[in-house]
Each structure stands twice: as structure tokens, then as C-alpha cells.
Amino acid sequence: MTTDTIQLSKSPVTGKEYEIPAIKDDKAGIDAFVALHPGKKVVVVQGLGFVGSVMGLVVANALTEEYAVIGIDLPTPASYWKIRSINEGVFPVIASDPKIEIYYQNALKKNNYYATYDSHAYSKADVVVVDINLDVQKRSAKNKDLEGYNVDLTPFKKAIEAIGANCKEDVLVLVETTVPPGTAQKIVRPIMEEMLEKRGLATDKLKVGHSYERVMPGPKYIDSIQNFYRVFAGTDEKSADAVEEFLRTVIKTDEYPLTRLGNTNATEMAKVLENSFRAMNIAFMVEWSRFAEEAGVDIYEVVNAIRMRPTHKNIMLPGLGVGGYCLTKDPLLASWARMNLFGSEEKLGQSEKGVHINDKMPVYAFEYLQSQYNGPLEGKKVLLLGVSYLNDVGDTRYTPVEGFYDQLLEEGCEITLHDPHVKYWEEKDIWVNQDMGELLNSDYDVVVITTGHKDYRNNEDLLNKLVSKPSAFMYDTIGVWSKDEIKTLGEKHIVKVLGRGDL
Amino acid sequence: MTTDTIQLSKSPVTGKEYEIPAIKDDKAGIDAFVALHPGKKVVVVQGLGFVGSVMGLVVANALTEEYAVIGIDLPTPASYWKIRSINEGVFPVIASDPKIEIYYQNALKKNNYYATYDSHAYSKADVVVVDINLDVQKRSAKNKDLEGYNVDLTPFKKAIEAIGANCKEDVLVLVETTVPPGTAQKIVRPIMEEMLEKRGLATDKLKVGHSYERVMPGPKYIDSIQNFYRVFAGTDEKSADAVEEFLRTVIKTDEYPLTRLGNTNATEMAKVLENSFRAMNIAFMVEWSRFAEEAGVDIYEVVNAIRMRPTHKNIMLPGLGVGGYCLTKDPLLASWARMNLFGSEEKLGQSEKGVHINDKMPVYAFEYLQSQYNGPLEGKKVLLLGVSYLNDVGDTRYTPVEGFYDQLLEEGCEITLHDPHVKYWEEKDIWVNQDMGELLNSDYDVVVITTGHKDYRNNEDLLNKLVSKPSAFMYDTIGVWSKDEIKTLGEKHIVKVLGRGDL
């Protein structure tokens, strides 16, 4: 074997690089692991991403049953390190939730969480939990106008085929992936039955269900799986019963009762509807923020007044944009399913429009900067405070900061990044500074709040340091600065807040 | 005077008819009333509709001050009877809130609530509370497509001019009407100053403010004014202070703190934003209800599952449509203001679209009936349960039942109406049956739930009566029937529920 055929997979957690094995065979490892746990049910979690790796942890720490858990992912540069990391004693997700480490140490002690890439694992499974990604391919213009999108089910179907090619005939396949409504019934179940038939196995013992997770990476990561309301359904009664039985062993259902819906179309729809609702509510505020700026109104003040009404507590605030893995694509998944899986001639037009509007927010935020900044931005030193898409977590997937950053770059700005939760910005392949003190030894022409981290809110030390700097343009795209802070900053700097009009 | 010049105004409450006086002079009445209350501040409430008449009552029962209250409205057939009714001891609003009668009897005892049509009242006023309507004129196609709309400020401006032509120079004008953002600052204040100048009076003592009510006609009518959060602002500091001082005397501000915003544009925007938020959230569910029907999903079940999440409690349920005075027009008021008072080239497109979608809901509900009903609807006997736009109140303003009713009528149906809260459907000039027992002596081809009144929910007696009828088509547009009830009805009838798919 020559060196140029060796593929490497690097852990962003430890920096360690792993060689991906040329021969993909882990049967011995899997068999040895299962042999350690005689009589225990085997749960295979498919996908070791933000959801799957932690779901595996929760199942390994189930409440009322002892499971042997196998996490499975692909032996690719992007994923292979996760497999090795889990088996070597380093959990592959950095999170502020202390429970992650407690649960992981506990699993290590019990040696009941193994990771592999080998589909042989499915042959041992009593339950397969599907936690792989199902992506939407967006086509967007340079100005972020959404021009179209596509849902390619091929990788998802292949993953289901891998289960069907290896599993026992009475396996429970529990899909947790956010899928187009109709997927469990119209795609997963038919593939599984076809594969079983090909193998000469019965199809009447198969169980296929859907239950969606509501995982929030962050300080309550584990609780967002274990201590939270779950909605589930089966492709038939037997499947629903099996899902219920399994979920009762891992989730605190006495405090967070399960909700069983009539069919899997309903649970699949609930998930994308819930995210579309949120995406649409954010999109709704975009126009109103612009109107507020035009009318010299502080939209934050207005929204806070409206939130006094219990019926209006959930009205959203504006910001730099919408990011993350769900809100940016789920409305499109749903609209696609309506037309492609249920043959409707109508899309979910309003929900698609919401995605479109949200995608454009970073463009607007940049244009606002351009319109307010005195002179060209070319060559200016810009400090961006925040890279992740959500406050107080280190998740950069589809962060709106990217669109904003790209435009600054294109304009010829010299950009410095800070984020207390992001060491490495994977999508951009950039290392992010985490030491604010060091950063503030330099001077900047423009300082922008791009994520609403706690570290930037009510931080007197940060405020004092910013005030002590030479006159600059301060731009808050999130609304973290209070009126008093704006006043203090404004004595020395120019301060603009998106959605606050002229203050 | 010949009889054909006599104009009559008929009370829908008592049925009594009043002659509108040919000579519009009530100076003596006003002076006599004010003379009864020496040393008391005079509050004039302009407009005796759903808000003004009850606001007058609340001010007459103020918490920490004794006011002499004068309600003023126009001597027109639609309004004159309200004036007479208040002065004759019959409150002009039918409401299920027992506090209304208690407050009214108390005002009668103190004799501190007088009603008139004569602008002379403004000359006595320390405070004028503006509670008149400001309407949007919609142009809609026959299929309810919103083709355009217009905001005509003329009547509103005339009402303000009437105040300016008569008032004291230090009057406080408190606008409570839902107005296009910008109105207090750009319209009310300039008109008032111009009128004062014309009269040779000073303009620097004038106070103009805005505070929006959140009145809900129904069982908590009074509380929705007196025991609820208020948002207010002034056109200047002095005005804001004066509004605050006044509101503190009538609202329980210790339990429901006041929120003071930076300017009247902000309070005016807050009101229309709050209603647009709600209208948009309803519109959002329209598409998803259709999708649920296509996918055989019960949207009610899905929404209830989503509502388990505290952050998603406010997701709306679908229904026959959106009615009432606010949600059907406020997004348009805002969009109009953005373009016409603040010169923006962009409308609030999404919010306008929400109104458009909501306006079409009764059309969809009718088309669904047509598609599900076996055969033509012509000549069929149809019973509509509910006429008002909201459950448990008797408010028919812009009720979506109207659009549904019109289509049935056009189709040649023989329609019977029931509503426990509506005696007389003013907009249609129809008397409504309130005796369900009597109605159910007849048989119907189609029975439709058109309003979600309590009387139609979990009503075993009603259910039994419906079950005992000959086979019919039962159509629930609101989702009041539970699964068990649907099952029971379904043994004899065909039952369809909007948004529930095939059950």
C-alpha cells in the first residue's frame, strides 16, 4: 500500500489523526463486544453526529434496562475519528453539559458503548435507532436568494438498505432522523420488507416506527433527550407498541409523558411543522424590523411589551439570521414531501418563503452596515464576536455568521473572529480565537456582535475594554446591548443596533 | 317636518326605536351633567362602540379618582340609540361579563356617565379618550381574493378636528384607536395644534398620547381593560407623563404594570404587530392543514403534540377562518403606514399575505364540503351552528361564517342559523335562532359547526339529539368533536372534520 492511498480522519476535539483502515472488517470487535453482554438487548445507533452519539450515550445509561449499545458511522475522513474516539475514551462531542462526561464515564465503566463502521453490527440488533442526516441541497444566488432546492434520498435509502441486508427479521427500526413526512411508511418500511424478502426472511415480524428527538446541543444536552416530551408512532400497531416499550426504558416518561400519534406521517409532520413554525415566526419579524428602523422605533422594546401577553410570549426577536441544522431546511423537506410523496400540486409556499427570507438576513445585516458606515469597508479591521448560530453553544452548522463573514471578506475586510464555544470553524476550516483579552490588545475599525452569547451580555469588563479602545463603529446585530450600554459606548464610538432605529 | 325626514335609530338590545333629533344641540344636557360634579375632572370618551362604551364605564368606576364621564358618538341610525340607551339605564352592550352590569349600576347610582352627540362636550374635557373606529376598505374578488385595500383617514381626521375645535388648550388627547403607526405624531398632534392656533390658543400645553387597549368582549370584558397590561407613549415627555397619570387612576397597575415606550410610533406599531403576529400564525396553519388532509394526518393531534413544548405553546389550530375587527385589518393598516406615512417603497408583504390567506379560509372550507358531499348542495337543508367569529362571545364583526354562509346561499341551500350568543346578525340583518331544542325538531341534510362555542363541545345532550336524527352529513370546521364523538356520530352519519384527514 502506498502512502497516498491512506486516508486520514482528524479529530477536532483532540487534534489526533487516525488512519482509515483499508480493509473494512470489524466483525471480531463487534462479536467480542456483544459476547461481553450476554442476555442484554443490543441497540445499534446509526449515525454518530450531534444526535446519534448522545442518543447512544443515553441508551447506554437507560433508566430501566441494561442495553449493549453499538454506535455505527461511516469510515470516512469526516466520521471515522468519532468511532475511534468513542472506543478510546474521548467523547466526540464538546458540550457544556456536565452530564455528558458523567454518562460517558459510566458507559466506559460498564463497557456497554462500542463504536464501529461495520454493518455486521445490524445482525446483532434488537433495536436500530436511525440518527443519520437527511439533507436538503439548496441552490442560492450570490445574494442568498433561494433559487431552488432538491431532496436526494439516495444516502438515506442506502443506510436503510444496510440495515435490511443484515438485520434480524424481528428488529425494531426506530427512525429519529428528521425526514420528509411519509418516509417511514412509504420508504423505510418498503425497503426493509424488500430486503428481508430477498434474504428469504419473514416480513410480518418487522417493526418500523418514528419518533423525533428535540435535541438541543448546549448545557442541557442530555436532558433534551432523556427529560423531554417525546412524540412517536408506528407504521402499524405492533411497531408503535415496540417503540413505546423501548422509549419507556430510556426516557423519564413519568415526568415527560409520551405522546402517541395515529401514524408515522403525523409524527414526521409534527417535527417539520414545529421547526417551520419557528422559522416562519423569525421570518415574520424581518419585515417588521425594517419597518421599525424606518419609523425610529426600537423593535426590542416593542417585542418585550408584546410578550407581556401570555398569548404572545413566543413572538421572536430579530437578529443576524437563522442557522442550525433544522430551521434552515425542515420547511423545505416538508414542502418537498407534500409534492413528491403525496402528489400535491401545491407546495407549502409560505413556509418556503420563510426559509427564503431567513436566508437573506445576513445580506440585509451587511447592507445595513454598509449604509450606516461612513465610507468604504475595504481594508477595515473587523472583529466579529460570535461564530456559532445560537447563543451559548458551539454549533456552527449553517450559522448565519458565514454569510455575513463572506460579504466582509469579499469587501476586502481584515476579519478577526472570537467565540468562547468554537475552537475550530469546521465549515470554513478556520481556527477561532477564544481569548478576548488578547484580541482586545489590537484595535478595530468595526466591532460586530454576531452571536448572542452570555459572554457578550452584561459583561462590564468587556464593555470597559471596548470603551477604552480608539473610536470605532460598534454594530450589534442581535440586540445584546442595553440602552445604558449603548449610551456608554456611544460617548466614544458610533453604535448601531439592527432593528433599533435611531436611538 | 314631514315624517320622511325623521331618521330612526333602533336598539338591537331592546328593540326600541328612537327618533334622531332634527336640531343637534345638547349643550344644556352637558352643562347640567357637568354642574352635578363640581371639582371633578371630566373625561370624554369619543366613540361608544365595543371599546369606548366599556372604557367609559371603567373610567366612571376609576380606582383612585372620581371622574365625570361623557360618552360621545354620532347622531346616526347606527349609533344614536347607544346614546339614548346609556342615558335611559340600559347598557348598549350585551356581554356575558357580570361586571358590566355591576359597573353600570354603580355609574347610574353616582350619575357620573352621561352620553351625548354634541361636540360641546369637548369644551369640558380634561381628558379625551379616542375610541372611534379606523377602518380599512378592502377590495376582494368574489372568491375572496384580496385585490387591494385602502385606508381613508378622513373620518378619523374629522373626529380629531371636532376635538380641536372645542377643547381646552391643556387637554390630554389619549388615542386608544388602533391606528396606522405614525398617526399620533404625524396626524393627531398637527391637527390639534392647527385647530388650537386657529382659535388663538397656545399649543404648548397640549398633550397627545397613545395607549392601546386589548379589549376582549366576553366573560372578562371589564378585566380586559382594567386588569391587564397596558402599553403607552406620548408625543412628548409631558404627554407621556399625563397619560401615565391618567392610566394609573383607572387600571390596576400594581398587578399589571404599565409599559412606557419611547414614542407613539412604537406603541402604535406594537398593537398592529401583535395582531399581525396572530393573523400570520393562523395563516401559517392553513397550508399545513391542507397538507395534513392530503397525508391522512389529524392536524389537531399534531398541534397538541407540538404544544407540549413550552416554546411552541402558541401554535394555532386551523378553523373556518379569521374574523373580528382587528386581525382582519391591522396588518394592512401597518403596511399602509409603512408606505404612506414613512415613505417606504416596501410593504409588509408577508403580513398582507397572511390577511389574504385568512380571508380565503371560508372559501376553502366550502370547497372541502363540496368535495366531500355526495352530490349537489342545491336545495339542501343546512344547519349552521355558530355565527360569531369567536367562541363564547356574540361578536359578528367580519365573522368568517359570513363567507361560508354566502356560498351556501348562492349554491341554493336552505340555511338555518343557531348561535347561543347572537340574537341578531347585524351585518346580514338576520335574526338568529337561539333555541337548539326547537331547531332539532327539524331534519337537516348538512349540519356544520361554524363556531367553537362551549355549547357545542362535550355536549352530550346535543350529541344524542344529533345521533337520533336521520342520516346526514356532519361537518366540523373547528375541531370541536372528539374522536369518540366522531365515532358515535359516524355510526349513523357521514362525519368530516376540516384538517383531520380521513379518520
Which residue, among A196, A162, A159, A164, has the nearest Cα to A179 in the 3D structure?
Answer: A159
Please indicate whether, in this complex, the C-beta atoms of B298 and A266 are within 8 angstroms of each other.
yes
Q: How confident is the model at residue A1 (pLDDT cuts 50, 70, 90)?
A: very low
Nearest CA in chain B to A183: B295
Q: What is the distance between the alpha carbons of residues B453 and B456, in angstroms, rounded to a whole number? A: 6
Question: What pLDDT, on a 0 to 100 scale, did the predictor assign at position A80?
Answer: 97
Please indicate whether, in this complex, the C-beta atoms of B288 and A312 are within 8 angstroms of each other.
no
CB B241 within 8 A of CB B211: no
* The three cell numbers locating residue A116: 464501529
Please indicate whether, in this complex, the C-beta atoms of B284 and A308 are within 8 angstroms of each other.
no
pLDDT tops 80 at residue A503:
no
* The three cell numbers locating residue B363: 372559501
Question: What pLDDT, on a 0 to 100 scale, did the predictor assign at position A70?
Answer: 98
Q: DSSP assignment of B422-433, as one string?
A: -SEEGGGTEE-B
Instruction: Name the minimum distance, in Å, from the CA of A436 to any CA of chain B.
Output: 33
Q: DSSP assignment of B440-475, as one string?
A: TTS--SEEEE-S--GGGSS-HHHHHHHHHSPS-EEE
Q: What is the distance between the alpha carbons of residues A417 and A421, in angstroms, rounded to a whole number? A: 12
Please indicate whether, in this complex, the C-beta atoms of B306 and A273 are within 8 angstroms of each other.
yes
Q: In chain B, which residues have their Cβ closer than 8 Å to the Cβ of A298?
A: 261-262, 266
Please indicate whether, in this complex, the C-beta atoms of A262 and B334 are within 8 angstroms of each other.
no
Q: What is the distance between the alpha carbons of residues A130 and A139, in angstroms, rounded to a whole number? A: 27
Please indicate whether, in this complex, the C-beta atoms of A350 and B351 are within 8 angstroms of each other.
no
CB A156 within 8 A of CB A341: no
- Tell me whether strands A146-151 and A136-140 are parallel, antiparallel or unpaired: antiparallel
Please indicate whether, in this complex, the C-beta atoms of A273 and B313 are within 8 angstroms of each other.
no
Name the pTM for this structure. Answer: 0.90
Q: Which residues of A280-314 are buried (b: 16+ CB within 10 A; e: fewer)?
A: bbbbbbbbbbbbbbbbbbbbbbbbbbbebeeebeb
Instruction: Name the minimum distance, in Å, from the CA of B322 to any CA of chain A.
Output: 17
Question: What pLDDT, on a 0 to 100 scale, did the predictor assign at position B4?
Answer: 59
Question: What pLDDT, on a 0 to 100 scale, did the predictor assign at position A261?
Answer: 96
Element at B379 (helix H, strand E): none
State the best of A214, A289, A306, A338 to mutate against chain B, taking most chain B CBs within 10 Å. Answer: A306
Q: In chain A, which residues have their Cβ closer than 8 Å to the Cβ of B338?
A: 291, 294-295
Please indicate whether, in this complex, the C-beta atoms of A311 and B314 are within 8 angstroms of each other.
yes
Which residue, among B101, B27, B34, has the nearest Cα to B69 in the 3D structure?
Answer: B34
Please indicate whether, in this complex, the C-beta atoms of A297 and B231 are within 8 angstroms of each other.
no
Nearest CA in chain B to A181: B295
Residue type, A418: H
Strand order, beta sheet including B446-449? B414-418, B381-385, B446-449, B473-476, B494-497
Instruction: Name the minimum distance, in Å, from the CA of B263 to any CA of chain A.
Output: 7
Nearest CA in chain B to A483: B262
Q: Which residues contact B482 (CB under 8 A, 6 or more apart)?
A: B458
DSSP classification of residue B40: P
Q: DSSP assignment of B58-99, as one string?
A: HHHT-SS--EEEEEE---STTTHHHHHHHHHT--S---S-HH
Say what the ipTM of the complex is: 0.91
Instruction: Name the minimum distance, in Å, from the CA of B42 to any CA of chain A.
Output: 30
* The three cell numbers locating residue B31: 352643562
pLDDT one-digit tens code per residue, A170-222: 999 999 999 999 999 999 999 999 999 999 999 999 999 999 988 888 889 99
Question: What pLDDT, on a 0 to 100 scale, did the predictor assign at position B1?
Answer: 44
Question: What pLDDT, on a 0 to 100 scale, did the predictor assign at position B502?
Answer: 64
Q: Over the Cα atoms of chain A, what is R_g? A: 24
pLDDT one-digit tens code per residue, A448-493: 999 999 999 999 999 999 999 999 999 999 999 998 999 999 999 9
Q: ∠ CA(B310), CA(B315), CA(B320), 5° rounding?
A: 155
Nearest CA in chain B to A349: B287
Please indicate whether, in this complex, the C-beta atoms of B306 and A348 are within 8 angstroms of each other.
no
Question: What pLDDT, on a 0 to 100 scale, did the predictor assign at position A502?
Answer: 64
Please indicate whether, in this complex, the C-beta atoms of A265 and B296 are within 8 angstroms of each other.
yes
pLDDT tops 50 at residue A99:
yes
Instruction: Name the minimum distance, in Å, from the CA of A274 to any CA of chain B.
Output: 6
State the best of A265, A291, A312 to mutate against chain B, taking most chain B CBs within 10 Å. Answer: A291
Q: In chain B, which residues have their Cβ closer than 8 Å to the Cβ of A334?
A: 291
For A163, A261, B320, the CA distances from B301, given in Å and listed in that order, are: 31, 7, 18
Please indicate whether, in this complex, the C-beta atoms of A274 and B315 are within 8 angstroms of each other.
yes
Neighbours of B443 (CB within 10 A): 12
State the best of B251, B268, B271, B306 to mutate against chain A, taking most chain A CBs within 10 Å. Answer: B306
Which residue, among B128, B212, B214, has the nearest Cα to B177 in the 3D structure?
Answer: B212
Closest CB to A348 among B181, B182, B291: B291
Which residue, among B92, B62, B51, has the nearest Cα to B212 in the 3D structure?
Answer: B51
Rounded to 5 degrees, what are φ and ψ at B113? Answer: -135, 105
Q: In chain B, which residues have their Cβ closer than 8 Å to the Cβ of A291?
A: 181, 269, 334, 338, 342, 344, 348
Q: Which residues of A370-389 are buried (b: 16+ CB within 10 A; e: fewer)?
A: eeebeeebeebebbbbbbbb
What is the pLDDT averaged over residues A271-296?
93
Q: What is the distance between the alpha carbons of residues B104 and B83, in angstroms, rounded to a whole number? A: 14
Please indicate whether, in this complex, the C-beta atoms of A273 and B302 are within 8 angstroms of each other.
yes
Looking at the DSSP bridge assignments, the partners of residue B10 are B17
Question: What pLDDT, on a 0 to 100 scale, did the predictor assign at position A152?
Answer: 96
Q: Which residue has the cell 470553524?
A: A425
Task: State which residues of chain B have pLDDT below 70.
Answer: 1-4, 502-503
First to last CA, chain A: 67
Please indicate whether, in this complex, the C-beta atoms of A308 and B229 are within 8 angstroms of each other.
yes
Please indicate whether, in this complex, the C-beta atoms of A305 and B181 are within 8 angstroms of each other.
no
SS3 A414: strand
Please indicate whether, in this complex, the C-beta atoms of B312 and A277 are within 8 angstroms of each other.
yes
Closest CB to B301 among A262, A298, A303: A262
Closest CB to B292 among A269, A296, A313: A269
State the best of B259, B297, B500 to mutate against chain A, taking most chain A CBs within 10 Å. Answer: B297
Nearest CA in chain B to A283: B350
Nearest CA in chain A to B316: A277
Diameter of chain B measured on Cα atoms: 79
Which residue, among B165, B309, B173, B310, has the nearest Cα to B232 in the 3D structure?
Answer: B173
pLDDT one-digit tens code per residue, B363-372: 999 999 999 9
Q: In chain B, which residues have their Cβ closer than 8 Å to the Cβ of A267?
A: 305
Nearest CA in chain B to A347: B287
Please indicate whether, in this complex, the C-beta atoms of A302 and B273 are within 8 angstroms of each other.
yes
Please indicate whether, in this complex, the C-beta atoms of A344 and B291 are within 8 angstroms of each other.
yes
SS3 A284: helix
pLDDT tops 90 at residue A270:
yes
Provide the number of CB pairs (under 8 Å) joining chain A to chain B. 176
